[in-house]
Copies of this chain bind each other. A is one copy, B any other.
Amino acid sequence: MPESTAVWQGGLEFSISQDDHEFTIDGSAEFGGRDRGVRPKSLILTALIGCTGMDVVSILEKMKIRIYGLTVTARGEYTEEHPKVFRYIKIEYKFTGDDLPLSKIERAVNLSQEKYCGVSEMLRGKMELSYDIILEKP
């Protein structure tokens, strides 16, 4: 059963134990934290790019496409009113390589977004989700 635990360390700092790995979350100085770790709400962005990133490399592996670099970035904007939620999230998939097969890459990204990525599915309908694919020569 998926599980995560947060132990309060004072201030806004919590020690996280998830999947037998540890990391720290904290607030920014602006909001009374000491910035000793990541912001919890932005972990939604990380969950999203991690989930779809793993999908895409797995699908491309099955298509025998292996020699490339991939950086996935998500940027979001919060609503003004409380509770502050993401009004939209935009994902950018940047592939680096020679002779990258655009149509297969588009198919892998679409399969993740439409069929496999559980995080996208959990957020769908609650905000605007969009993505761009960028191909770059090394």
Complex Cα gap A70–B116 (Å): 35
Complex Cα gap A132–B19 (Å): 22
Q: Chain A: interface secondary structure?
A: mixed
Asked, given contacts A16-B46, A19-B28, whether A73 binds B38 with beta carbons under 8 Å apart, the answer is no
A-B pairs with beta carbons under 8 Å apart, 24 shown: A2-B41, A3-B76, A4-B45, A4-B73, A5-B71, A5-B73, A6-B73, A7-B71, A8-B57, A8-B71, A12-B54, A19-B28, A23-B23, A23-B38, A25-B54, A27-B54, A32-B58, A39-B50, A43-B47, A44-B119, A84-B118, A85-B118, A122-B123, A122-B126
Query: Interface residue count for A (Cβ, 8 Å)?
Result: 69
Complex Cα gap A38–B43 (Å): 12
Max count, chain B CB within 10 A of own CB: residue among A19, A40, A70: A40
A37 to chain B minimum Cβ distance, whole angstroms, is: 6
Sorted nearest first, the 3 A-B pairs with minimum C-beta distance are A40-B50, A43-B47, A4-B45
A98 to chain B minimum Cβ distance, whole angstroms, is: 17
